[in-house]
Homo-oligomer: A and B are copies of this chain.
Amino acid sequence: MRFLARVLVITGLLLASLGAGLAEPLASWNDGPAKQTIQSFVQRVTDAKGKDFVPPEQRIAVFDNDGTLWVEQPMYTQLAFALDRIKALAPDHPEWQSNPRLKAAIDGDMKALAATGEKGLVELMMVTHAGMTPDDFQSIVSDWLAKAEHPRFKKHYTDLVYQPMLELLGYLRDNGFTTYIVSGGGIEFMRPWTDKAYGVLPAQVVGSSIKTKFEMVDGKPVLMRLPEVNFVDDGPGKPIGINQHIGQRPIAAFGNSDGDLEMLQWTTAGDGARLGMIVHHTDAEREYAYDRDSTFGRLDKAMDMAPAQGWVLIDMKNDWKQIFPAAQ
């Protein structure tokens, strides 16, 4: 490391410890096994003299998004977006009325839509997510998020992020980690708001994607979103997406459903100190209580495997003092 870089890192670490002394990290976490697991792991990998020390450039932490960083009930936010969007676009597309899958979506008939299976969902995504530039899509998403309200909490979706997880993201970054989102959700659905909501820059978001095409339009270079699946960043896709985007195996992974199983396996199978944690939704009063039987965010196999794998469950009801950030 060059001298200047070394000075910067040392200064940063000094200031970070100073900062850590000023504000209690993980303030919304109750003292308990989950908080202790996190603190002990961070202590071990940052102790330059310890056997588990990990240099900062290898301190990669990956986070699922839906149900891990923000609410995913009563349905994924991106699905709520797609349903609002298809309703808004429907008047210009009378031909959609003769397609039973799209008609179910337009009518908001969730039972009929669910009955169409994956085909109906993919079709809904394609007609609402393709046919515009990434910039235009991001504007559409931002405009929607600024207006849409969660049906139960009557708040904007970006206000329904988990305060304890925000503190965890910050705590890890203050300790030299780079924090990534690795989500089954659309990469370009997330990128417009993850920096503001989580401090996660666009380049640190990994997600599912549709294909894009480069073309010249009126002498200007344009990217166009195509109605064709490019990559599904879920289940076994998560380690593949991590390998493709990050190119390093994470040392810590946080998820909440069976869609995070392979990411947890991939992360914790590496050598040295590893951390795998699962947010368990146990709080019907303040948020939701669900696991094995949920349509969205089903947690079944990963929960069975957790003890043997050393993955620690975060019990939302007992581990978290507060669920959402205080209203501003």
Contact = CB atoms under 8 A, between A and B. Distances in A.
Interface centre among A7, A16, A201, A221 (most CB of B within 10 A): A221
Contact of A57 (B201, B236, B243, B262): B201
A265 B221 contact: yes
A13 to B, nearest CB: 10
A162 interface: no
Contacts of A37: none
A104 interface: no
A195 interface: yes
Interface in A119-137: 134
Interface in A199-243: 201-205, 209, 212-214, 216, 220-221, 223, 230, 236-237, 239-240, 243
A202 B246 contact: yes
A8 interface: yes
Interface in A146-178: 170, 174, 178
A307 interface: no
A134 B221 contact: no
Contacts of A318: none
A27 interface: no
A293 B11 CA distance: 51
A214 B266 contact: yes
Contacts of A203: 178, 203-204, 245-248
Contacts of A64: none
Contacts of A209: 244
Contacts of A266: 214, 221, 223
A126 to B, nearest CB: 18
A170 to B, nearest CB: 8
Nearest to A237: B214
A223 B239 CA distance: 8
Contacts of A265: 216, 221
A101 B221 CA distance: 37
A187 interface: yes
A205 B245 CA distance: 9
A310 interface: no
Interface string A10-39: 011001101100100000000000000000
A306 interface: no
Contact of A187 (B204, B247, B248): B247
The 10 closest A-B pairs by CB, nearest first: A202-B247, A214-B236, A4-B19, A221-B265, A191-B247, A203-B246, A221-B266, A214-B239, A221-B269, A202-B248
28 contacts: A2-B170, A4-B15, A4-B19, A4-B174, A7-B15, A8-B12, A57-B195, A134-B243, A187-B247, A188-B247, A202-B246, A202-B248, A203-B245, A203-B246, A203-B248, A205-B247, A214-B236, A214-B262, A216-B265, A220-B269, A221-B239, A221-B262, A221-B269, A223-B240, A223-B243, A223-B266, A230-B244, A245-B245
Given A57-B195, A212-B240, A214-B237, 8 more contacts: A4-B16, A57-B201, A212-B244, A214-B262, A216-B265, A220-B269, A221-B265, A223-B239
